[in-house]
Amino acid sequence: MIRGEESVWYHIGFSPVALLTMLSVVIGTVLFICAALPWVCRLIKKNPKIFWQENTIIMVPKFMHRIRSNAGSLILLVLLAAGTLAVFGSTTLSMWYPYQAAKRIIPSAMEYRVTDEEQNENVLNALEETVGQDSFHAYQTTVIHVKASSEQMPEEYNTGIEKGREPGFECISWTDFTALIQDQDTDTKRDKREDDNNGSALTAPADNECILVKYHPDREQSDLNAVYHLEIPEQGTTDVRVSAVTTNNPIGFANSTGTLILSDALYEKLAQSYSSRFTVMSINCPGLIIL
């Protein structure tokens, strides 16, 4: 299932494969109880060293008799237990995965684009009156929309163009990234500053490096070490190499899809040249539910 379009589930269809799995479980259970267990008991009876013992000589015949007389009930009981476990697992997954997906879509408790400073102040004042000034933390991030070119451009670069989004990278600084992640990690044990390549903690990129935030996990790490030529108006281009890839987005995908995390120095250089930017307000509070 994790192979996407290459998965058997995708080509054959979920229902046929699920039916095949169910039939395999039923047939396997019947064969195990009616054939495998009696066969093991016969092997024990043929081995005098094992069979002619104080407990074995009584337990094995009794066990074989119970299997012969209650095989149907035992098969039904096992299938009911397997069905209960399957339903419980499906219910858990159907609730857990959407919850985790929602946390990726909006990693902060509240997030919105700042289009009106007065309205933004009204939101913060209303929140302060509701939960108190010290009960939440608001962080404002300036995101720069940067054009680029590369022989190995990620799919996130062109995501959303059919809905009016201009192709490009949304660039933020390493300082903004660490500040947002620290705010969002107040109620979790997992460090979100993690490299998808080797599981180690992310480190600050150099001036010629960047960290790519992926929308979908990429087990093959095809974007690692790719070189992007970031355009700088009236100055040409600057090359950055993807030093790490992560799926832990600091900003919701509605506001930033193809996110690049740059060094503070390179970010400031781009900020001086680009006018295409927007501001995102991220609010985190233990009393607010992250959805």
Residue pair 251/180 in contact (Cβ under 8 Å)? The answer is yes
Model pLDDT for residues 7-56, shown as the tens digit of each residue: 666 677 767 777 787 888 888 888 877 777 778 777 777 777 666 766 66
Q: Taking the CB of residue 251, how many other CB atoms lie within 10 A of it?
A: 23
Cα–Cα distance measured from residue 95 to residue 246, given in angstroms and rounded to the nearest whole number: 24
How sure is the predictor about 187, in pLDDT bands with cuts at 50, 70 and 90? very low
Can you tell me the distance from the alpha carbon of 249 to that of 228, in angstroms, rounded to the nearest whole number? Answer: 20
Distance CA 55, CA 166 (A): 77
The arithmetic mean of pLDDT across residues 229-240, rounded, is 89
Strand 137-146's sheet: what is its strand order? Answer: 110-113, 277-284, 137-146, 169-173, 259-262, 209-213, 236-246, 227-232, 148-149
* pTM for the structure as a whole: 0.63
Amino acid, single-letter form, for residue 268: E
